[in-house]
Chain A
Amino acid sequence: NAGVMQNPRHLVRRRGQEARLRCSPMKGHSHVYWYRQLPEEGLKFMVYLQKENIIDESGMPKERFSAEFPKEGPSILRIQQVVRGDSAAYFCASSPPASLHTDTQYFGPGTRLTVL
């Protein structure tokens, strides 16, 4: 049973470019979460999605950031016009449907974004 998959593992962008981070949840999981980890800091919640729905985006910056989890395919975190402050590790987590233990989140290996 494959775990949460994220790609790419490393991404380098120049200021002003767009970054697209992908996340495939564990098999059977219908909830996806995105977190950001700045160097030497803890993880900060960004957004919580179910298929085709954003449940909670309270941690998402108001501008340049967007997320989706389409009916088919992986969840995408999109950062437009990246700035150096966006350099961080971005982690995706997934959890089972609400009928099971929704709180239990399993993390992927992360995408390390570097903005030059």
Chain B
Amino acid sequence: QQQVKQSPQSLIVQKGGISIINCAYENTAFDYFPWYQQFPGKGPALLIAIRPDVSEKKEGRFTISFNKSAKQFSLHIMDSQPGDSATYFCAASTGGKLIFGQGTELSVKP
């Protein structure tokens, strides 16, 4: 019940394309859903986050879509750039601790 399942495990996108990463959860008590970006050898950096009372949130090229009834949420990266190549983690939390998905390694080809 505490799991967050993330897919795909890896993703290759052409420059300018749309990258889409999906996550699913079981625990309906989760009330905060952030996405983190991590480059090799670095700590995770918060990208964007959403709460379940909102179905979509957009910040620049990054959009979270949230489907409360399906218990799914996704990250869309528009106009993907080579500099976006990194590992992306979704997470869910309630009461403080973050439960992370397994990560998606994104590679954007020039």
Contact = CB atoms under 8 A, between A and B. Distances in A.
A59 B46 CA distance: 22
A15 B2 CA distance: 32
A107 B93 CA distance: 15
A45 B98 contact: yes
Nearest to B36: A107
Contacts of B43: 4, 91, 107-110
Nearest to B93: A103
Interface in A25-81: 31, 33, 35, 41-45, 48, 55-56, 58-59
A106 to B, nearest CB: 6
Chain A interface size band reads: 20 to 34
A17 interface: no
B42 interface: yes
Contacts of A59: 97
Chain B interface SS verdict (over half): strand
A56 B97 contact: yes
A45 B44 CA distance: 14
Interface in A1-36: 4, 31, 33, 35
A99 interface: no
Contacts of B6: 42
A61 to B, nearest CB: 16
A43 B96 contact: no
Interface of B: 6, 31-32, 34, 36, 42-46, 49, 89, 93, 95-103
26 contacts: A4-B43, A33-B97, A35-B98, A35-B100, A41-B102, A42-B6, A42-B89, A42-B100, A42-B101, A42-B102, A43-B89, A45-B98, A91-B43, A93-B98, A95-B96, A103-B31, A103-B32, A103-B34, A103-B93, A105-B34, A105-B46, A107-B44, A107-B45, A109-B43, A110-B42, A110-B43
Given A42-B89, A42-B102, 9 more contacts: A41-B102, A42-B6, A45-B99, A48-B97, A103-B93, A104-B46, A105-B34, A105-B98, A107-B44
Interface of A: 4, 31, 33, 35, 41-45, 48, 55-56, 58-59, 91, 93, 95, 102-110
